[in-house]
A and B are shown apart, each in its own frame.
Chain A
Amino acid sequence: MSAALRVFAAEGLKQHRRIFGSKLVVFSMLLWPVLTLATTYYTVLPVTSAPGAAQRWPLVAEPGRLLAFLAAGALAYTFFFSLVQSAWHFSFERVSGTLEAMFLTPASRMALVLANGSSALVQNAWLFGCFGIAAALATGSLHLAHPGMLAVAALALLVPAVAWGAFLNSLLMFSRDSAFLYTLLDDPLWFVAGVRLPLFALPVWVKAIGLAFPLTTSLTVLRGALLDGRDTGELAGHLAFLAGLSAVLLGLTAVLLRVGERHAQRTGSLQLF
């Protein structure tokens, strides 16, 4: 256990140097999401202010709530996408030779990918997270059943995000064309996860795809807990699904790490697909 914790400390330093050393974080984690949020808001404004729109989606009756809905989407998307970015960077370690140096060590591979994902999350997302909380408090758009729901929302965002990050790390670590996966998980991710539209507006098949991504359910819980005043009882189904999905992702991560390293040991190539 202590060895695993030391892996977390090590990856924490590495991610801190990689992310914090550059100004990129201010742009990718604050400026771009905020500008994109504004663009999304104005883009859907004509339809949300169409006659009769409030009957189909009551939330649009108040522009503040619409903005909060979209902001929650932007927040969760920023968290999850930061892990796609971090996994993309992780895949470069294969090329630079440091992945081999990592595999030489006795450190647990699972601890490595988990540590890498969670440190990326902490390093990347604190800025937008703080901004989001400040904005929510300033605009009074938080609507909580009880203060404990803040913790539930935070856990429902962070735990699946870390599982997602570990899964992506193991996936991209062994993939030939990580740039392609990166592209695939950028725009399609917000589309299927209901980041910019309520889920009811999506066709069934898109919703079905969206369920495979933890962002979708994470976001449902986040919006329910922070904006709609729901309590754990009302969100129990979503929370259970989210826990199950996180467990599945971690299971897949373990399998990928095992199969990937075995493949590398057999063929001498760290590219599995």
Chain B
Amino acid sequence: MATAMPTLRRNWLVTMRAYQWTYFVGTLATGILTVGLAYLAYHSIGGGRAGGGFAAAAGTADYLGYVTVGAAASMFTVRMVLWVAKAQITEQREGTLESQVLAPARRLPYLVGVGLQSLTTTVVEVVVMLAFAVMIGVRLPAPDPVTLLAAFVAASVAVFGISVPLSAIMITAGEAHITQNTLFVAMGLLCGFTFPPAYLPDPLRWLGEALPVTSALRALRAATLDHAPLSAAAPDLLLCLALGLAYLIVGLRLLGPAERVAIQRGGSA
């Protein structure tokens, strides 16, 4: 915690002083317009109904609720990944990566500090998006609070987990734009944010299952749309946690070599 708290505090100060409205508006717009698109399609094309075996594939007949939870989760994922995975490459660009590597602090607490701080702002942002959804008439049934909390924790671990190897890739490549957007676009297709992954061809579905966000989404939907008790969501929660931790461990292993590559490149440039 000796590293996590100061990092949290530093990022909090930076966020409060220079809040990046552009990023926020961008991800908020994506969330709102995704829900908006589903809403319009549902009413003017579907006539207020969803077909094509949606209920069977999705585990719920509530198309708008399904998309809304997915859009909120997508916004959460994108914002958290942007914060955590880009923390180190931002330090690299600002020239502070070397002083960070020089300090005896370990990587994990540093990234946890970044993650905890971003969690606070991200939750507020997601709430703004959900408020919009409720405003246009999306109804989310009263969720099971225990399952929801557990799913939220699992989703946080999942997103944090995938951010760490991503950070290693970014500082190794010295590039964030292609890496992050490729991940976002791929997750959009594979993880079931806006449609049931059962629609996908099998190989793609398995690929989606390898990402912890997919099981996190199932648990979140079980909690919000199905009012599922903790026991019912447990398999997904455990899968999500296990995958998230696996990504985290692999990521932490990769960070050391990645930092060396980054600093070497910085030195030769």
Chains A and B directly touch (beta carbon < 8 Å): yes
A44 at the interface (CB under 8 A from B): yes
- Say which size band chain B's interface belongs to: 35 or more
Most buried by B among A36, A187, A202: A187
**Given the known A-B contacts A27-B181, A39-B194, A201-B45, are A49 and B51 also in contact in the complex, defined by CB atoms under 8 Å?**
yes
Contacts of B37 in A (CB 8 A): 43-44, 191, 196-197
The residue in chain B whose Cβ has the minimal distance to the Cβ of A203 is B40
Given contacts A39-B194, A57-B45, A183-B26, 9 further A-B contacts (CB under 8 A): A27-B178, A35-B185, A44-B45, A46-B51, A47-B42, A49-B54, A50-B49, A53-B47, A56-B44
B199 at the interface (CB under 8 A from A): yes
* C-alpha gap A190/B36 in the complex (Å): 12
Q: Is the CB of B177 within 8 A of A24?
A: yes
Interface size on A, residues (CB 8 A): 43
6 contacts between A and B (CB under 8 A): A43-B195, A49-B51, A56-B44, A57-B45, A60-B45, A201-B41
Interface string of B184-212 (1 = CB under 8 A from A): 01101100001100011000000000000
- Contact count A vs B, C-beta below 8 Å: 124
* C-alpha gap A47/B26 in the complex (Å): 26
Q: Is the CB of A50 within 8 A of B47?
A: yes
Q: Is the CB of B182 within 8 A of A31?
A: yes
Most buried by B among A28, A44, A46, A48: A46
Ranked 9 nearest A-B pairs via Cβ: A49-B52, A47-B46, A50-B46, A46-B54, A50-B51, A46-B50, A201-B44, A183-B26, A42-B195
Q: Which chain A residues (48-81) contact chain B, with CB distance < 8 Å?
A: 48-53, 56-57, 60
Q: Which chain A residues (193-208) contact chain B, with CB distance < 8 Å?
A: 196-198, 200-203
Contacts of A53 in B (CB 8 A): 45-47, 51
Contacts of A190 in B (CB 8 A): 33
B3 at the interface (CB under 8 A from A): no
**B22, B47, B54: the one within 8 Å of A56 (CB):** B47
Contacts of B50 in A (CB 8 A): 46-47, 50
* C-alpha gap A269/B58 in the complex (Å): 56
Contacts of A57 in B (CB 8 A): 45
**Given the known A-B contacts A45-B195, A47-B46, A56-B45, are A35 and B40 also in contact in the complex, defined by CB atoms under 8 Å?**
no
